[in-house]
A = this chain, B = another copy of it.
Amino acid sequence: MSAPHDAASRTARDDDGHPSLRLRRLGIDTHSEPVVYMRADCHVCRAEGFTARERVEVHAGTRTVIATLSVVTSDLLAPGEAGVSEAAWALLDAREGDAVRALHPAPVESLAHVRAKLFGHRLDGAAMRAIIDDVVARRYADIELAAFVAAGAGDRLDVDETVALTRAMVDVGQRLSWPRRPVCDKHCVGGLPGNRTTPIVVAIAAASGLTIPKTSSRAITSPAGTADAMETLAPVDLDLDAMRRVVEREGGCVVWGGAVRLSPADDILIGVERPLDLDSEGQLVASVLSKKAAAGSTHVLIDMPVGPTAKVRSDEAAASLVSRLTHVGAAVGLRVECLVTDGTQPVGRGIGPALEALDVLAVLRNAPDAPTDLRSRATALAGRLLEIAGRAAPGDGFALAARTLATGAAWRKFAAICDAQGGLREPRAAPLTQEVVAPRAGEIAAIDNRRLARVAKLAGAPLARGAGLRLHRRLGDRVAKDEPLYTVHAEARGELAYALDYAGRQAEIVSVR
């Protein structure tokens, strides 16, 4: 049966008479990079001279995608077949057996701008726009995305370039509008494990009558993003219409920004920044503000923890970032205010999605053992937001926020928001645990946020929702020898062992002196 079929397929042509291949869904998940699989001996490979890792433009119906070529030298594909990765399958909106064409892609001209930037030139608005347009159209291979991320790493994007990048990222996405103003937002410049104030701030702000359509990200280089933690409390992958319904009903929401695709460019760039464990001041500002502008915000409060092992490590770095955020914000029509906060140790007890969500619930429910540091930070942030949005007179915000929390109004609002998002659920800590104990008696002298975050990541956070750790001691606390400093939680034995192995090989992550 197969011979005549194969012979015919070798010269298959699509409706326009171009030689084509039959598409097969191989079921290979390569994350976001589109990959096309073609036989080394197929007529298209031979006629076009394609080789492995080359970029290939794949057409199916009216859709096109640029994919990285993997060459099949076995019978994994039948003659006349081409396969694509799941990412490419989705972009092509493909069906089994579709006729596909494969061509040399036109040179991606914007890559010349990436090279120019790497060689020290500045990028103007048109160049940034060209790059971001191509990124969103998936014309960049992963290594090209990595080169672009690297080109802006550190402080290599100046304010004008950051404005250009932010505008480009806003322009390629959707931009929401809301019937009432001001439209508020808050954001934390990451790096401080457990600093999960957002759900609390949103609850207080919305309970106080503000509009706060909050989109959050998943973890980039941390053990949990707000979206990861919130997802253990309620669904967060709402589309735009669903998000709008939640905000219209409750005044606020906490959803994943990637699902509403407010900044599709950011979603793709983060997909490379995360495995590279790399971001930059300019890209950070563009990432944050592009999503705020796209969400239709007018007033943005930014929490900026500063500490030796936080993302922002010094007052000078904080001042530079505050200035950059304020300037770029103004250039894209946002009033941005920053609150510089203590970043010397984690906030709350949990680190990891579910463990942080449990802290959030304790604060909102006024539980007696709720972490006081998380409660006071969230109250301060919410209070400041109430002031800049005109809900409280200057100086009165904190008291109003504290009252909204204490009366249970914030908790009721939060439960209503979760309900509107699809239903409140109880987070669950991962069942496999092991304690890390004090090597000697003494006082907690320092906590290394970064290495502590790494322990939580190695334990499986954020992908394993219940994984991470629970910190039992804070700076200045006294401990006896062998008293637990923190408990590692994991869902897989391999991950628990791996996190403990890392912790064991490090100098003290929680220093006792």
* A contact set with B: CB distance below 8 Å: 25-33, 37, 40, 46-49, 51-55, 70-76, 85-86, 103-104, 107, 111, 115, 118-120, 141-147, 149-151, 153-155, 272, 275-278, 454, 458, 460, 463-464, 491-495, 498, 502
Contacts and interface: CB of A to CB of B under 8 A. Distances in A.
Contacts of A143: 142-143, 145-146, 272, 275-276
Max chain B C-beta neighbours (<10 A), residue from A27, A86, A493, A495: A27
Given A27-B76, A275-B141, A495 B48 contact: yes
Nearest to A30: B70
A213 B454 CA distance: 49
Contacts of A46: 492
A72 B29 contact: yes
A467 to B, nearest CB: 8
Given A48-B492, A495-B48, A26 B146 contact: no
Given A29-B40, A29-B72, A104-B494, 6 more contacts: A27-B72, A28-B37, A28-B74, A107-B454, A120-B154, A147-B278
A32 B118 CA distance: 24
Nearest to A39: B27
A247 to B, nearest CB: 31
A76 to B, nearest CB: 6
Q: Which 9 A-B pairs have the closest CB atoms?
A: A27-B74, A150-B150, A31-B53, A118-B153, A146-B146, A143-B146, A119-B154, A29-B71, A31-B52
A145 B47 CA distance: 31
A107 B33 CA distance: 23
Contacts of A37: 28
B74 A25 contact: yes
Contact of A47 (B104, B115, B494): B494
Instruction: Name the prevailing secondary structure of the A interface residues.
Output: mixed
Nearest to A145: B143
A40 B85 CA distance: 14
A147 B150 contact: yes
A491 B49 contact: yes
A400 to B, nearest CB: 41
A46 B463 CA distance: 12
A277 B28 contact: no
29 contacts: A25-B74, A27-B72, A27-B74, A28-B37, A29-B71, A29-B73, A33-B53, A48-B494, A49-B463, A49-B492, A49-B494, A49-B495, A51-B463, A76-B76, A104-B495, A107-B454, A111-B277, A115-B277, A142-B142, A142-B143, A142-B146, A143-B145, A146-B147, A146-B150, A147-B147, A147-B149, A147-B278, A150-B150, A150-B151
B76 A52 contact: no
A449 to B, nearest CB: 16
A408 to B, nearest CB: 38
A460 B49 contact: yes
Contacts of A27: 72-76
A383 to B, nearest CB: 35
B49 A73 contact: no
Contact of A494 (B32, B86, B103, B107): B103
Given A143-B276, A275-B143, A494-B104, A119 B153 contact: yes
Contacts of A147: 146-147, 149-150, 276, 278
Contacts of A145: 143
A286 B141 CA distance: 26
A103 B498 CA distance: 10
A468 B72 CA distance: 27
Nearest to A32: B53
Contacts of A30: 52-53, 70
A54 B30 CA distance: 10
A46 B493 CA distance: 10
A17 B201 CA distance: 51
B118 A72 contact: no
A148 to B, nearest CB: 9
A104 B498 contact: yes
A143 to B, nearest CB: 4
